[in-house]
Amino acid sequence: MTKILVVEDDETLNYAVCKHLTHNGYAAKGCTDAREGLNALYTETFDLIISDIMMPNMDGFAFAREVRAHDAAIPLLFLTARDDFLAKERGFRLGIDDYLTKPIELDELLLRIMALLRRAKISTSKRLVVGNLTLDEDAMRATVNGLPVELTLREF
């Protein structure tokens, strides 16, 4: 099951996001501050992180910096009331993967999560499947409908 860490200091929103994610087949863990989120990250494995920016004690930017020091590849989505370009730029330069401004539509959040997880899986996988075509980088083999396709190294 896909595990998602939700770091949001607004307890009502944190609960709503976690409940919606759980209802849609994800395992969601809610944390109400960044330090609690980091502790969870160091003790559990997550497939994606959702974080607010404006939180007490440690803001989302510092949290993102810590996350990237711990794991450079985990998808990280900022969910925040800040809609200014400077905050977006700073977040993306720190390594976040997506940015969604509040108020949010929970179903849009789900779509963004699906896209982030799909891209993360493609980037870490040595195997790419598109329709009936499969490219396996480790085996340097291509198949269509399960049948091998002869390709040169350059074509591959």
Structure tokens at 76: 């990280």
Q: What angle do CA 34, 43, 93 make, to 5 degrees?
A: 45
pLDDT in tens, 18-57: 999 999 999 999 999 999 999 999 999 999 999 999 999 9
For the cut 70, the answer to whether the pLDDT of residue 59 exceeds it is: yes
Could you identify the residue written with the tokens 């404006």? 54
For the cut 90, the answer to whether the pLDDT of residue 148 exceeds it is: no
Q: Where are the domains of the chain?
A: 3-124, 125-156
Rounded Cα distance between 133 and 120, Å, is: 20
Please give the DSSP secondary-structure letter assigned to residue 55.
-
Residue of higher predicted confidence among 140 and 19:
19
Per-residue pLDDT averaged across 73-89, rounded?
96
For domain 3-124, give the CATH number.
3.40.50.2300
